[in-house]
């Protein structure tokens, strides 16, 4: 059997949780920290049981406290999402149980586990013991369907909280984060200046996409590091990644090459980005972006 630690988003279940059920291959128990999303989890197909874990310690995220509260409820193989909180929680529970954790898994075949290393410049295949905790990369497995009706057990747990939230700071923009986006349009130094990112934002709004950036423009133009895609930024795997004015430095490619489809727009026909692009367009952004906006408008 497998224990899944639910990933939540606000007051509901994060879609990656349904993907973890698929990764588990059935007969899964889902633990919902703080009780969040328990009813949604119970409705997923392939779920045997939901444990809604309630307690004051779940009011804010403290991986150590959450781990202490959840650890004793975890049985069999434990799977969490390879998100910021999921990774910290999994590592904390593993150390508490004295077992190993393998993060950011992209393939599970019995005890044989595959994961990317060097931000996707290579992969590794590992043999893991039965109690090794896994975190699974979002958008790797399809989400389990609904239609289930698993029983929900509520338990109360307590733990000492050592991380206190002093101040919540809302996102500077309502724009989607690259980690969560199914479509990303990214700009690099070829965009000329930070002001020209408004053209990318306009297209992102049409597509419901997130706007990403290369390391060069984050470092040199002061764009937010949260937008940076690459080995020292975020590793992303959206369905569609559109790179505009990005030459394709090896550390950028590392962060986006696992995208399902890659479109590259660059005026330099020899830019390395074309080596990973499914569809390459040799053109300046000044010419290509208006054409892109028009073509999308005609869909």
Partner 1 sequence: MADIAVLLKQVPDTNAKIVISGGRVDEGAVNKWSMSPYDEYALESALAQGGSITAITCGPARAKKLLTDAAAVGATELMHIVVEDLTTLDSNQVSSILSAAVQRTGATVVFCGKQAADTNAGSTGPGVARKMGAACVTLVSELSGDASGFSALRPSSEGMERVSIAAPCVIAFDKMATELRRPNVKGIMMAKKKAVETLSPADLGVDLGAADVTLQAQNPPAEKPAGQKFEGAESVATVVSKLRDEAKVL
Site for partner 1, residues 178 to 197, rule: CB under 8 A: 183
8 A C-beta contact, residue 128 and residue 108: no
Collapsing DSSP states into helix, strand and coil, what is residue 226? helix
Residue 149 CB, nearest approach to partner 1 (Å): 28
Which H or E run includes 181? none
**Which residue number, 1 or 291, has a Cβ lying nearer to partner 1?**
291
Judged by CB, which is closer to partner 1: 21, or 82?
Answer: 82
CB of 167 or CB of 195, closer to partner 1 = 167
Looking only at residues 20 through 59 of this chain, which bind partner 1 when binding is defined by CB under 8 A?
none
Burial of 83 (0-12, 13-18, 19+ CB in 10 A): buried
Return the ∠ at Cα 16 (arms to 131 and 231), rounded to 5°.
Answer: 85
Of 49-57, 73-81, 192-200, 222-230, the segment contacting partner 1 by CB under 8 A is 222-230
Q: Give residues 232-271 in contact with partner 1 (rule: CB under 8 A).
A: 232-233, 235, 239-240, 249-251, 254, 257-258, 260-263, 269
Closest distance to partner 1 from the beta carbon of 206 (Å): 10
Using CB under 8 A as the binding rule, the residues of this chain from 1 to 20 that contact partner 1 are 9-10
The Cα–Cα gap between 41 and 176 comes to: 24
Rounded to a whole number of angstroms, the minimum distance from the CB of residue 106 to partner 1 is 11
Number of residues binding to partner 1, judged by CB under 8 A: 95
172 binds partner 1 (CB under 8 A): yes
232-268 as b/e, with b when 16 or more CB fall inside 10 Å?
ebbbbbbebbbbbbbbbbebbbbbbbbbeebbbbbee
Site for partner 1 contains 109 (CB under 8 A): no
Q: Which is nearer to partner 1, 4 or 91 (CB)?
A: 91
Please report where in the chains the tokens 């992102």 appear, as a residue.
204
152 lies in the site for partner 1, by CB under 8 A:
no
d(CA 77, CA 210): 34
């Amino acid at each position: 059997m497998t224990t899944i630690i639910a990933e939540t988003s606000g007051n509901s279940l994060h879609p990656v949780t349904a993907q973890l059920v698929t990764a588990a291959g059935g007969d899964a128990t889902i633990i919902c920290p703080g009780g969040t999303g328990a009813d949604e989890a119970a409705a997923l197909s392939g779920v045997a049981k939901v444990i809604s874990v309630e307690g004051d310690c779940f009011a804010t995220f403290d991986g150590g406290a959450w781990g202490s509260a959840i650890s004793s409820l975890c049985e069999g193989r434990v799977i969490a999402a390879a998100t910021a909180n999921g990774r910290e929680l999994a590592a904390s529970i593993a150390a508490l149980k004295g077992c190993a954790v393998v993060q950011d898994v992209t393939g599970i075949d019995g005890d044989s586990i595959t994961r990317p290393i060097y931000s996707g410049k290579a992969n590794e295949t590992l043999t893991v013991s039965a109690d090794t905790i896994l975190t699974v990369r979002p958008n790797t497995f399809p989400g389990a369907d609904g239609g289930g009706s698993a029983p929900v057990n509520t338990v109360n747990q307590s733990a000492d909280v050592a991380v206190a939230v002093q101040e919540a700071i809302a996102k500077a923009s309502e724009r989607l984060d690259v980690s969560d986006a199914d479509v990303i349009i990214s700009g690099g130094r070829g965009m000329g200046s930070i002001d020209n990112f408004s053209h990318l934002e306009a297209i992102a709004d049409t597509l419901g996409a997130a706007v990403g950036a290369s390391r060069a423009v984050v470092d040199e133009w002061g764009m937010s590091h949260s937008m940076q895609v690459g080995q020292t930024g975020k590793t992303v795997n959206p369905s569609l990644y559109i790179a505009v004015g990005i030459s394709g430095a090896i550390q950028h490619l590392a962060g986006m090459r696992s995208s399902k489809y890659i479109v590259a727009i660059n005026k330099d026909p020899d830019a390395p980005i074309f080596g990973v692009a499914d569809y390459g367009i040799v053109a300046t952004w000044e010419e290509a972006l208006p054409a892109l906006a028009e073509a999308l408008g005609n869909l």
